[in-house]
Structure formats: C-alpha cells, structure tokens
Structure 1
Amino acid sequence: MSPLRGIALKLISVFLFTIMASLIKASTALVPTGEAVFFRSFFAMPVIVAWLAMRGDLSTGLKISNPWAHVGRGVIGVTAMGCGFAALGLLPLPEVTALGYAAPLMTVLLAALLLGERLRLFRMSAVALGLVGVTIVLWPRLTIDDLADGATLGVALILTSALFRALAQIQIRRMVAVEETSAIVFYFSLTATCFALLTAPFGWTWPGWTGLAMLVSAGLIGGVAQILLTSAYKFAGAAMLAPFDYASILFAILFGIAFFDEAPTPMVLVGSGVVMVAGILIVWRERQLGLQRGRARSKMTPYG
C-alpha cells in the first residue's frame, strides 16, 4: 500500500472528471444529451482497452459471468449519466456538483432496503444531516421564476441522476463477487454507447469542429480518469480516499468561475459544507464497522 500515491491518483481523477463535466456542459448548447452520452462512452473504450493491453490483461479482463447483470448496470448507469448531463445545461457547475453529493447518502438508504444492511442511529443521523445540506442547496431553486427558466427541472434531473448512481453502486456491490473490475468498467461504456445510439433518430446534430473536439476530449479524459480512479484503490483504502471526492466542489467552483462565469451562491457553499460533513461521518463510521467499499467505488463514475 502507498497511501500518498493513492491520494494523488484520486485527486487527479477527480480533477479530470471535473474537466470532463465542464466539456460536456460547454457542449450542451450544441448537441442533445443522448449524443453527449454517446461521445463520453464511446471514446472512453479505446482508453480502457489500451490500459488492459498494457497490463497484459486483454485476454482475461473482458470475460464476464453474467451478461444480464452488465446490461442492468448499463441501463441504470446511462440513465444516471443522461440526467446528469442534461442538468449541466440547466444549472451552474458548482450546484450540479453539490447536489450530486446526494448519491452516497442515497446509497446508504438503498443498501438498507435492497441489501439488508443494518442502518444504525449514527448513520441514520449522518444521512439526515446530509439531506439537510442538500435541501439548503436546492431551496433557492423552489421558486416560480426558477420553474419558468428550467432550473427546477435541472434540480430534478441531478437528483434523479444521484438516485440512479446510488442504484448503480448497489448493482456493482452485487457484481464484484463474480466480475472483474475491467469488465464492469468496459461493458458499462459499451452498453452506454449502445443505448445512447438509440437516441440518434430524435435529433442528433453536427456540433462543429470545436464541439466535436470537446466531445471527443470528454470521452478520452473520462476514460483516463476512470483508470486513475480504479488504480487509486490499489494503493489506499476506500475509507481513506472517499473524503477526497469532495475536492470536486473546489475544482467545480474554479472551473465555474473561470469558464462559465458561475460563482457559487452562499447557499451552495453552506449546503455543500453540510453534505461534506455528513459524507465524511458516514465514511468514518463505515471504517469503524469494517465495511470496505473500495472495489465498488473504483467502478463508479460521475453521473453513473
């Protein structure tokens, strides 16, 4: 184990995922959501295949035991990704990032409902605190003006994305016992690509050369970020790395200000802080209980 290397890889992956989200956000005015999902998924696959080839795992890394489990994972994940990408076109980047922190909270609740995990008072209290933080972030959006300009729809989309990301986490927990990490990552990109293609008849457009470059870059960067994220868990435990997920809000604030003129509101900052505290408390408690989620976390991506 090399914790510092694991932390460095995790931070780089979070930074790259924020770049990816920024590129997708910049392209939302150019192409429909399904087309953005296609580029994000399709151009991640060559990166993943090259990674497997470099490791010498190409012959074994893509074998699967339960194809339908991968299809289910793909349906859940592409729904999360599509909702998340659509939300990026309606809300500021820092706000989307902050509301996305609802996903780990929902995972705790779904694990109790679907996996039978015990939900004790400490974690229940932490989840409740996190939901208070999410409410603080979204509260200013629950107005008539925001209903008119689509911001409330953006909130609904990112919360739906968070719910499906949580469902994907549950699905992955079931799959890791029989499936390889590389297979879960690759076949998610493959199924997401196929499902995204189904949206082509509904109005795909030519994004122009600049837009095309942004979309292809989003896919390639997303693939590299996923590999770095997966690799991070080889050098440090899940409980140690999980709090560094919250570095994404700092990167999102910087990118939002620099490229989209989107400064975070005080409510976003306060609510994000509350959700961060809740998330760290949950991670700490899971570490105390010996519940390691590293293998599952290493297969998750933003938006699915």
Structure 2
Amino acid sequence: MSMATNRAAAAAQSNNIPLGITLMVITTFVFAVQDGLSRHLASEYNVMMVVMIRYWFFAAFVIALAKRHAGGLRAAARTSQPVLQIFRGLLLAAEICVMIVAFTILGLVESHAVFTCYPLLVAALSGPVLGESVGWRRWAAIGVGFIGVLIILQPGMSVFDPAAVIPLVAAAMFAVYGLLTRYVGRKDKTATSFFWTGVTGSVAMTATGLWYWEPMIASDWLIMGCLCITGVTGHWLLIRCYEVAEASAVQPFAYLQLVFAAIIGISAFGETVRPNVAFGAALIVAAGLFTFWRERQKGRAR
C-alpha cells in the first residue's frame, strides 16, 4: 500500500468530526454517571470489592472483543513487551481505586477539578518518557495549569486538607498509564493493549478484592449492575469515538466530564462548588485546551 493510499485511508477513517464529537460528549456523560455510581457504592462497601466486580465485567468485555477480531484471544494477547503491559494494567487498576477513594472523601466536584490536570502531566512527561519535544508554549500552558491546581488545593491556607492531594496522585498515575500506553503502542496493536489492561486488572483486583468481600443488598446489586454496564459502554463509546474521528479534534470535549460530574455531585450528593475550585478548574481546562491546540498545529505543520 502506497503512502498516498495510507493517507487517504486515514482521512477516510477520521473525517466524521461531528459524529466523533457527539460520541465523545456521550462518553463523558456515561463516565460521569459511572463515577457517581462508584461514589455511592464505595461509601457503602469496600473500594477493593467494588472495583473488583467492575473489573470482572470489564475483563469479560475485552475478551469478547478479542474473540471477534482476527486471530482471537491468542492474537490479542501476543506481545513482545509483557512486563510493560502488565505494569500498565496494574497501574490503571490502582489509579481507579485511588480515584474512587477521592470521590468518597472529597466528592465528585473537587476530585474531578484536580484530576482534570492529567493531560498537562502527560504533556510534561512526554519529553523524558517518550523523547518528544515540548516547546516553551506548552511549558507555559503546563505552568498555568499547575497554578490552577494550586488554587484548588490552597496549600498555604490553614484549612488545607491533605486529602485533596489524592486526586492529584490519581492524575499522575493516569498520566503515566497514558504515556505507557503510547509507548507500548509503538509495537502492540490497540486491541492487544486493551486486552492486557482488562485481564491484568481483573486478576490483580480479584486477588485483592476477595479479601474484602461483604454482603450487598439487592438494590445496591442493581446499582452495581448499572456501574458495570456504564463502564463497558463508556469504553466501547470511547473506542468507537477514536475510530471515527481524529483524537486532536475530539479530545477537548473530554473536559465535559468535569461539567457532568459537577452536575451529578451537586444534584445527587449535595456537593457545592467553591469559588477557588471553579477558578482553578477553569485555568486547568484553558491550559489543557491550549496544549491540544498546539498539538494539532504541530501535526498540521509536519
């Protein structure tokens, strides 16, 4: 296949921007609902057990997807970098646990306000981890985003809550996970990385979560079922989104998850939005959007 043919195929795959944006908006809403369900269940039951059951459904989903592709499970599992793939899966499982703990302590609004900085952490770490060039404009945007995080955390205030650092830790973990995903993607297909993510996380959470098993009432089993469905649906929508549209066009709309999570946190859990959280989150989002814009400009210049 010629280079021109490859470009034409890529264009054909990524030319439906309106559909991609629509799918991303729906995806962020589904993930926000998932976070609300996780917040409720984790306030009633151990986080490890909740994440374990969620991963069972996630693993079933990725295995079902793998079976549908050419070569089946064997092809999906084939990798030349199993250690990195396993580490990725373990890191994501740990990040989910940390973030859900943040939901129960800080609520959806403040947790997501801080977590929103993870794309900036990806941009900052892409240089040392992936060897990508990070220009002064992106470093300036990263600095602005970091100021936004400080405004939210208020580390110099007497009322500073150390628990506010928890979603920042989750953001750092997710950023490293994203960078490792990009790194292993140089050799492995998306289906392979997705397979290892689900299966590794499921094995790890089963080994951990079974120790924290506790009875669940019928109504909460229904909520757990909804949690599993939203998790699977969200991941499927995200995959579909990146299949129909280029990432640089749809990624800015991922910030809507913060908006949806805030709406759910306020309406369902009685949370409030403090002025410093709103202003800090606005700075982080603005810095993130600028970073994505610079990425797109650089991509066009190549």
Please report the TM-score for the alignment, with normalisation by the length of structure 1.
0.87
Q: 1:68 aligns with which of 63, 83, 102?
A: 83
Question: Are the equivalent residues in 2 in contact too, given 1:130–1:274 (CA < 8 A)?
Answer: yes
- For residue 43 of structure 1, what is the aligned residue in structure 2? 57
Question: Are the equivalent residues in 2 in contact too, given 1:105–1:130 (CA < 8 A)?
Answer: yes
Instruction: Specify whether residues 8 and 78 from structure 1 end up closer, same or farther in structure 2 by C-alpha distance, changes over 3 A only.
Output: same
Deviations 1:21-40 (A, max 9, x none): 00000011222121122122
Structure ranking higher in helix proportion: 2
Question: Are the equivalent residues in 2 in contact too, given 1:84–1:157 (CA < 8 A)?
Answer: yes
Number of equivalent positions: 286
Deviations 1:229-249 (A, max 9, x none): 111112211111111011112
* Per-residue deviation, 1:64: 2.2
Instruction: Specify whether residues 221 and 209 from structure 1 end up closer, same or farther in structure 2 by C-alpha distance, changes over 3 A only.
Output: same
- For residue 92 of structure 2, what is the aligned residue in structure 1? 77
Q: CA RMSD in A?
A: 2.2
Tell which deviates more after alignment, 38-47 or 21-30.
38-47
Runs of 5+ unmatched residues, structure 2: 1-14
- For residue 295 of structure 1, what is the aligned residue in structure 2? none
- For residue 197 of structure 2, what is the aligned residue in structure 1? 188
* Per-residue deviation, 1:10: 0.9
Instruction: Specify whether residues 161 and 50 from structure 1 end up closer, same or farther in structure 2 by C-alpha distance, changes over 3 A only.
Output: same
- For residue 286 of structure 1, what is the aligned residue in structure 2? 295
- For residue 129 of structure 2, what is the aligned residue in structure 1? 114
Instruction: Specify whether residues 236 and 197 from structure 1 end up closer, same or farther in structure 2 by C-alpha distance, changes over 3 A only.
Output: same
- For residue 147 of structure 2, what is the aligned residue in structure 1? 132
* Per-residue deviation, 1:184: 1.6
- For residue 223 of structure 2, what is the aligned residue in structure 1? 214
Deviations 1:241-277 (A, max 9, x none): 1110111121112111221011212222111111111
Q: 1:231 aligns with which of 240, 249, 257?
A: 240
1:124-203, aligned counterparts within 5 Å?
124-139=139-154, 143-144=158-159, 147=161, 152-153=162-163, 155-200=164-209, 202-203=211-212
- For residue 298 of structure 1, what is the aligned residue in structure 2? none
Matched, 1:242 2:251: yes
Q: Separation in 2 of the partners of 1:7 and 1:72?
A: 31
Q: Separation in 2 of the partners of 1:141 and 1:204?
A: 40
Q: Separation in 1 of the partners of 2:256 and 2:156?
A: 24
Matched, 1:9 2:16: no
Question: Are the equivalent residues in 1 in contact too, given 2:59–2:198 (CA < 8 A)?
Answer: yes
Please report the TM-score for the alignment, with normalisation by the length of structure 2.
0.87
Find the structure with the greater CA-based Rg: 2
* Per-residue deviation, 1:291: 8.6
Q: Separation in 2 of the partners of 1:233 and 1:61?
A: 22
Q: What percent identity do the matched residue pairs reach?
A: 24
Runs of 5+ unmatched residues, structure 1: 293-304
Instruction: Specify whether residues 14 and 60 from structure 1 end up closer, same or farther in structure 2 by C-alpha distance, changes over 3 A only.
Output: farther
Q: Separation in 1 of the partners of 2:145 and 2:98?
A: 21
Q: Separation in 2 of the partners of 1:137 and 1:252?
A: 16
**SS of the residue 1:198 aligns to:** helix
Deviations 1:9-64 (A, max 9, x none): 11111111111100000011222121122122111233334445566774576232
The one-letter amino acid of 1:197's match is T
The one-letter amino acid of 1:19's match is V
Q: Separation in 2 of the partners of 1:81 and 1:90?
A: 14
Instruction: Specify whether residues 118 and 28 from structure 1 end up closer, same or farther in structure 2 by C-alpha distance, changes over 3 A only.
Output: same
* Per-residue deviation, 1:228: 0.8
Q: Separation in 2 of the partners of 1:261 and 1:71?
A: 39
Question: Are the equivalent residues in 1 in contact too, given 2:66–2:195 (CA < 8 A)?
Answer: no
